[in-house]
Amino acid sequence: MTLAVGIDIGGTGIKGALVDLGTGALVSERVKRPTPPGGAPDAIVAQTVEILAELDAPAEAPVGVCFPAIVLEGRTMSAANVSEQWIGLEAEQLFEAELGRSIHFVNDADAAGVAEARYGAAAGQPGLTILTTLGTGIGSAFLFDGTLIPNTELGHLVLDGDDVEHWASNGVRERQELTFEAWAQRLQRFYAHVEFLFSPQLLVVGGGVSKHHEQFLPLLRLRTPIVPATLRNNAGIMGAAALAHRPL
């Protein structure tokens, strides 16, 4: 059994577990802590150190960390629902210094996409798969023949004069109390445009709302198959662990 640690940092929670890379299964309890208020770098790193210590993983197990930001060569170039102090920060170096070990550092939606490609809804899928996460905003991951094309940001695609995530995210649906039928009309506009631009072979929809997929995915009219993600809230952990063992 080949093991790796995956840690998924989000705007509201940080969670980690030990992962069996052969199957993607979590082989430890999932340790979860709230994200420190304000999401400042030092506080988040300290919380991550505590989670890794509690997991008591083997010293040889590689560690992957995913984070809600564009990640370029270990530097965070944006910040979603965390402090703006992360923007331009040498984040990978900061985590490695405090954790006392090397890590693989990646965008959270990219980690989820890798997990779905290796263990979930897109396993074995040839050609281009696009995963989107519908949450507070909209995250995305592109995978071609299972290989990640990192740092896509479809939530910031400008359509009808505004970022798509400003009018089509699940957060917007909740705040505006939209019915699934009304929300599906917005998703149709978004996904039809993505389909036109990129001609994917498969669309995978993640985020917590995907557990209600039967209420909105059948309402979409696309030529591309569109399916719910299968790994739910463990996808980031699994993908970060997988990339720690076998990077891009």
Tell me: the pLDDT tens digits for 175-193? 999 999 999 999 999 999 9
pLDDT at residue 248 in the model: 65
Per-residue model confidence as pLDDT tens digits over 50-101? 999 999 888 899 999 999 999 999 999 999 889 999 999 999 999 999 999 9
Q: Which fold has domain 121-230?
A: Nucleotidyltransferase; domain 5 (3.30.420)
| Burial of 22 (C-beta count, 10 Å sphere; 0-12/13-18/19+) | exposed
Whether the Cβ atoms of residue 99 and residue 7 lie closer than 8 Å to each other: no
**How much is the pTM?**
0.93
Average pLDDT across the chain, whole number: 95
Every domain of the chain with CATH number 3.30.420.40 lies at 3-108, 121-230
Quote the CA–CA distance of 108 and 140 in Å, as a whole number: 9
Instruction: Please tell me the CATH code under which domain 3-108 is placed.
Output: 3.30.420.40
